[in-house]
Amino acid sequence: MHPLPLNERLDRIGQHIVRARLFLDLWFYFEARDSRGKIIETMRGYNGFFRFTPHAYFVAYVIYMAGVFDRRRDTISLASLIHEVKAAGCLKVHDAATVGALLAQAKPIADKVAILRHKAFAHRSAHVSYNDVFKMAAVNPDHLRDLTDMAMNIANRLLLARGLRDQHFTKLPREAAEAMMKTLGGRAT
């Protein structure tokens, strides 16, 4: 079986990163102390929905970002795409150096996200508690946001190197969540 065309895979990785960020933003909106304090009563009023929704956003973020940094050649991941774009002669020396530096900077955080994916979610460890997996990963929301920024920077350099349109994060899902909570609560922001 042949892989999808390179340009299509580059578009997909960009979309995965965009989706990861929107899941992170939604998780953060529902879980961050500042915003949660304003919406918690509304969330309690719809507990059947909100009990697990923020968790689902976080799990989706982890799955998407772990995939973005996967090292297998048969997946749509930055490592394989960087290699292919370089092999195609499309990545200028300066951009290749920047991509390499960004990838090296992202690696420690991506490794922490992989710990969460492999030990807490996708392959729930039988030897380590859920809370201990999070202690082991030692990652915080700022790390996760930085990781998506670095990943998007890398993906956009690859997209542009191939003459494709770059991709951007959107605040629309979070804004919609805020509007929804305001409507549901009559006062929540």
The pLDDT of residue 106 is 98
d(CA 75, CA 139): 25
The pLDDT of residue 126 is 85
Which regions of the chain are under pLDDT 70? Answer: 187-189
d(CA 144, CA 65): 9
The pLDDT of residue 187 is 54
Which pTM does this prediction carry? 0.93
d(CA 167, CA 150): 13
The pLDDT of residue 186 is 76
Contact 44, 175 (CB under 8 A): no
What are the structural domain ranges in the chain?
6-185
The pLDDT of residue 123 is 80
Residues 6+ apart with CB under 8 A from 8: none
The pLDDT of residue 124 is 80
The pLDDT of residue 189 is 47
Q: Report the length, in residues, of the chain.
A: 189
